[in-house]
């Protein structure tokens, strides 16, 4: 199958409807590692009527949402990890919005997966207009609370075994992160993680 068709199939993993999709196409994708995509602000989007009248601008929160959608595609296409239903934006850190996006502008979005912890995915994301950095953020995505990972064949990868979050408690995470941001992990897993003091999974 041609590469462009594979990228189109990967893009279909987004659960969002067309009214709330801020990723038009994928330019490159290394499943489970990083991806590059584009979003063009057309000018007829419904939210521009109120943001702002006479001076339409893409809201900053939607700029972050676009990057989070790209990170979700990259994560869900990982052939070595289970697909988590209901993957949602859970936490933000070190967010910087450095510019504005106007109708007619085309954004280049980049996302790099930096860590996994059960249903939690950490990614470093950025958005560019031409070569100008407009936004950078470290984000965390989480599978739905109480959900079960789904065994499936990734669009660009091979089948993989389902791994439950409690299967590997050797991953070490700072206790403050666990208290404030972990969703849907078994209590015994959280308690085991709390006993650890250092970790590679770090949102600094």
Indicate the domain borders of the chain: 3-161
Query: Lowest mean pLDDT: which of 48-52, 96-100, 107-111, 175-179?
Result: 175-179
* Residue 113 clears pLDDT 90, i.e. is over it: yes
Q: Which CATH superfamily is domain 3-161 in?
A: Hotdog Thioesterase (3.10.129.10)
For 54-112, how does the pLDDT look when each residue is reduced to its tens digit (9 = 90+)? Answer: 999 999 999 999 999 999 999 988 877 777 777 889 999 999 999 999 999 999 999 99
pLDDT at position 82 is: 72
pLDDT at position 78 is: 82
Under 8 Å CB-to-CB from 114, ≥6 apart: which residues? Answer: 122, 123, 124, 138
CA distance 70 to 95: 16
Q: How confident is the model at residue 162 (pLDDT cuts 50, 70, 90)?
A: very low
Strand bridging mode 132-142 / 106-117: unpaired
Averaged over 115-141, what is the pLDDT?
94
Under 8 Å CB-to-CB from 8, ≥6 apart: which residues? Answer: 25, 26
pLDDT at position 53 is: 92
Verify cis geometry, omega within 30 degrees of 0, for the bond prior to 52.
yes
pLDDT at position 119 is: 82
Averaged over 166-177, what is the pLDDT?
35
8 A C-beta contact, residue 123 and residue 113: yes
| Residues of the chain above pLDDT 70, percent | 68
Q: How confident is the model at residue 185 (pLDDT cuts 50, 70, 90)?
A: very low
pLDDT at position 144 is: 66
8 A C-beta contact, residue 23 and residue 37: yes
Report the predicted TM-score, pTM, of the whole model to 2 decimal places: 0.71
* Residue 121 clears pLDDT 80, i.e. is over it: yes
Backbone angles phi, psi at 88, to 5 degrees: -130, 160
* Residue 173 clears pLDDT 90, i.e. is over it: no
Choose, from 4, 34, 51, 194, the residue flagged as catalytic: 51
CA distance 129 to 26: 16
| Residues of the chain above pLDDT 90, percent | 50
Mean pLDDT of the chain: 76
8 A C-beta contact, residue 83 and residue 149: yes
For residue 51, indicate whether it is catalytic.
yes
Instruction: Burial-class residue 197 by CB neighbours within 10 Å (0-12, 13-18, 19+).
Output: exposed
DSSP percent split of the chain into helix, strand, coil, nearest 5 = 25, 30, 45
């Amino acid at each position: 199958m041609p590469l462009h068709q594979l990228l189109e199939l990967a893009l279909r993993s987004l659960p969002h409807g067309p009214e709330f999709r801020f990723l038009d196409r994928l330019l490159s994708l290394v499943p489970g590692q990083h991806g590059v995509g584009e979003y063009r602000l057309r000018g007829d989007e419904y939210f521009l009527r109120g943001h702002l009248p006479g001076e339409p601008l893409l809201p900053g929160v939607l700029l972050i949402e676009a990057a989070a959608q790209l990170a979700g595609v990259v994560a869900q296409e990982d052939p070595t990890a289970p697909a988590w239903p209901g993957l949602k934006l859970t936490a933000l850190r070190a967010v910087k919005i450095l510019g504005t996006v106007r109708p007619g502008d085309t954004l280049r979005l980049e996302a790099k997966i930096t860590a996994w912890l059960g249903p939690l995915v950490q990614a470093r994301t950025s958005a560019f207009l031409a070569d100008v950095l407009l936004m950078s953020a470290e984000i965390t995505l989480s599978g739905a609370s109480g959900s079960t990972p789904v065994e499936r064949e990734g669009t660009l990868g091979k089948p993989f075994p389902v791994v439950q979050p409690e299967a590997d408690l050797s991953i070490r995470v700072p206790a403050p992160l666990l208290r404030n941001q972990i969703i849907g992990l078994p209590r015994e897993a959280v308690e085991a993680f709390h006993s650890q003091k250092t970790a590679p999974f770090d949102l600094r």
